[in-house]
């Protein structure tokens, strides 16, 4: 009867406490479901035997009750016919069947109670199994959702700073490129201004150089001609 002790233990099991008390509740529930399925498969033949025993005893009881009725009728017939000896024999046989029937009736009652108890336990365990399977489905869905949320959280926690830093790095590189471009532009502008200034200086000097030469030649000419 150890199997029915296991049935009783499973029926009285509190899945909420079991789930909360394990680090891996899904694994624990799957194990419990496997054990329950094994217990149910083992219990079914026992329950079937109890039910078969009840039916067998019931048939024997019905047969003996029928014999009691038959010998009662024979005793009555013998009495009506005035055959007391035959009536006594019939009554004796009737009493024998009555004793057997009384014993069978007690057995049938006990077998019926045992069969009903085992059937109720089996039905309760089957209901408990369905409950565990539903809880497993819900728990699995919740656990998968939690894992997805955890992965998203981990992804955000792990990648966001890196993405932000990368964005800052990109900005810094872009800023340096802009600054370099601006510096190059300023350098080109400065070079251009220097070139223009040089050209302007040359242009400014050229006329003065021409005037100077003329003036110098004029002075030389005046000196030669002794003119003031």
Sequential pLDDT tens for the chain (228 residues): 455 555 555 555 555 555 555 556 777 778 888 888 888 888 889 889 989 999 999 999 999 999 999 999 999 999 998 888 999 999 999 999 999 999 999 999 999 998 898 888 888 888 888 888 888 888 777 777 777 777 777 666 654 444 445 655 655 666 666 667 666 677 666 766 766 776 666 565 555 544 456 566 656 665 655 645
Q: Domains in the chain: how many in total?
A: 1
The span from the first CA to the last CA of the chain, in angstroms, equals: 154
**Per-residue pLDDT, 19:** 53
**Per-residue pLDDT, 101:** 95
**Per-residue pLDDT, 161:** 45
Q: Is residue 216 part of a domain?
A: no
Q: Is residue 173 part of a domain?
A: no
Three-state DSSP class for residue 188: helix
The span from the CA of 4 to the CA of 118, in Å, is: 8
**Per-residue pLDDT, 31:** 84
- The two tokens of residue 106 are 């007690």
Model pTM?
A: 0.51
**Radius of gyration, alpha carbons of the chain:** 58
**Per-residue pLDDT, 131:** 85
Three-state DSSP class for residue 12: coil
Which residue from 34, 41, 32 is spatially nearest to 12, judged by alpha carbons?
Answer: 32
- Count Cα atoms within 13 angstroms, Cβ side, for 117: 11
Q: Is residue 59 part of a domain?
A: yes
Give the range of the structural domain holding residue 38, as residue numbers without chain letter: 2-165
Q: Is residue 223 part of a domain?
A: no
Q: Is residue 152 part of a domain?
A: yes
Q: Is residue 91 part of a domain?
A: yes
Q: Is residue 98 part of a domain?
A: yes
Q: Is residue 227 part of a domain?
A: no
């Amino acid at each position: 009867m150890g199997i029915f002790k296991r049935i009783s233990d499973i029926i009285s099991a509190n899945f909420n406490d079991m789930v909360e008390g394990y680090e891996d509740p899904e694994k624990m529930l799957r194990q419990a479901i496997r054990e329950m399925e094994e217990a149910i498969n083992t219990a079914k033949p026992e329950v079937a035997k109890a039910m078969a025993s009840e039916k067998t005893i019931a048939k024997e009881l019905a047969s003996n009750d029928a014999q009691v009725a038959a010998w009662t009728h024979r005793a009555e017939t013998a009495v009506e016919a005035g055959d007391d000896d035959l009536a006594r024999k019939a009554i004796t046989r009737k009493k024998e069947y009555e004793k057997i029937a009384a014993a069978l009736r007690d057995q049938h009652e006990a077998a019926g109670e045992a069969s009903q108890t085992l059937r109720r336990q089996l039905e309760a365990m089957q209901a408990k199994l369905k409950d565990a399977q539903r809880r497993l489905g819900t728990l699995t869905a919740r656990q998968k959702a939690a894992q997805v949320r955890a992965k998203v959280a981990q992804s955000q926690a792990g990648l966001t700073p890196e993405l932000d830093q990368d964005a800052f790095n990109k900005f810094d590189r872009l800023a340096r490129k802009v600054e370099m471009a601006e510096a190059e532009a300023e350098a080109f502008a400065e070079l251009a201004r220097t070139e223009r200034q040089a050209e302007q200086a040359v242009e400014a000097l050229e006329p003065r150089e021409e005037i100077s030469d003329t003036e110098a030649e004029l002075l030389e000419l005046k000196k030669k001609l002794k003119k003031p």
